[in-house]
Structure 1
């Protein structure tokens, strides 16, 4: 059995370990910690471990923004990212939810497409030679 829940400080080390496994360093430790403290982090708990997590904000031009989706490499292609994003879409506090990925990240672009997100713009010059594509989806905002 698996479920999605709000991350707590007791999960910080596990989430940081997963993030380090994916990106190769500990550069986002403070960002993850702050998101947990501010209740802006969801995690995917399977029966025996945490398979992934999602960070969000509510200050992207007045809208919700999924800023990070990380899935443990051994748990990829099992619906973890989809489940996290669907869960967040149901709890979003704004009528639209935005997110983004690099042009080179074809898997994430496919996930956005599969979940009904539409392209909303491009930002150049964040990662040299790899534009950031912005996506948007209408949400069911919670009051």
Structure 2
């Protein structure tokens, strides 16, 4: 059975390892550690396996913003990203939840759409030639 919970410092190395699998380096180690310590990081686990994690904050114009969702390549297409999104929706102190992904990331766009998020805008010039699409969902 998969569970979602706040990440703990003991989870740090497994989260950094998953992140490294996906992006190819450990550059976000400090960012992940900070999110864990500030209770802004959720982890999804099944038995002893860490499947993925999500980092959020509540500083996007007073709303919750999911800044990072990472799922281990071997744990994809099993509903882990959706479980993480559903959990952040439950604990969000704001009535609106936002996130974003690159226009080229079709899998994440589909995940947002399946979970009831709608496009809310586009940001140019973050990644040249690959605009960031902002997604939005009312909490209830």
2:138 — aligned with what? 138
Task: State the SS of the aligned residue for 2:53.
Answer: strand
- Cα deviation, residue 84, structure 1: 0.6
Separation (CA, whole Å) in 2 of partners of 1:45 and 1:112:
21
Separation (CA, whole Å) in 2 of partners of 1:98 and 1:106:
17
2:83 — aligned with what? 83
Task: State the SS of the aligned residue for 1:120.
Answer: strand
2:109 — aligned with what? 109
Q: Which runs of 5+ in 1 are unaligned?
A: none
Matches within 5 A, 1:8-19: 8-19=8-19
Separation (CA, whole Å) in 1 of partners of 2:2 and 2:123:
36
Separation (CA, whole Å) in 1 of partners of 2:106 and 2:14:
27
1:27 — aligned with what? 27
How many residue pairs align between the two structures?
140
- Cα deviation, residue 61, structure 1: 1.1
Separation (CA, whole Å) in 2 of partners of 1:106 and 1:134:
13
2:39 — aligned with what? 39
Task: Find runs of 4+ consecutive structure 1 residues off by over 6 angstroms.
Answer: none
Separation (CA, whole Å) in 1 of partners of 2:58 and 2:48:
31
Separation (CA, whole Å) in 1 of partners of 2:111 and 2:76:
12
1:92 — aligned with what? 92
- TM-score scaled by structure 1? 0.96
CA-to-aligned-CA distance 1:20-66 (integer Å, 9 cap, x gap): 00000011111101100100000001012110000000000111000
